[in-house]
């Protein structure tokens, strides 16, 4: 079990952390962007919400992956 926490599995843990962060980050980014769009332009329709969700997915994927890479690089850094 201790072998799973070695530097050899850094990319596995990076992927796991990135996936764990993706869904909550996407939901947060999407909710904030819908609120912003509604405050600027009034009620939004389903097409606008779908487009905003697609944009939130890309942003959340990039942000989650970058954070996971940086965090795991710091965590598995040689002392």
Asked whether 56 and 29 are in contact (CB, 8 A), the reply is: yes
Within a domain: 52: yes
User: pLDDT, tens digit, for every residue of 67-78?
Assistant: 999 999 999 887
Within a domain: 16: yes
Domain interval for residue 62? 11-75
Within a domain: 43: yes
- Count structural domains, the chain: 1
Within a domain: 60: yes
Within a domain: 1: no
- CA-based torsion, 20, 25, 30, 31: positive or negative: positive
- Look-up of token digits 């487009």: 51
Cα–Cα distance, 67 to 21 (Å, whole number): 9
Within a domain: 53: yes
Cα–Cα distance, 20 to 64 (Å, whole number): 9
Confidence bin at 30 (pLDDT 50/70/90): very high
pTM of the predicted protein model: 0.86
Percent of the chain with pLDDT over 90: 80
């Amino acid at each position: 079990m201790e072998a799973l926490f070695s530097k050899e599995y850094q990319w596995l843990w990076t992927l796991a952390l990135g996936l764990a962060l993706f869904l909550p980050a996407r939901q947060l980014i999407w909710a904030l962007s819908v609120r912003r769009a509604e405050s600027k332009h009034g009620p939004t329709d389903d097409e606008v919400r779908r487009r905003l969700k697609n944009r939130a997915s890309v942003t959340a994927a990039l942000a989650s992956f970058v954070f996971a890479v940086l965090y795991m690089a710091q965590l598995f850094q040689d002392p």
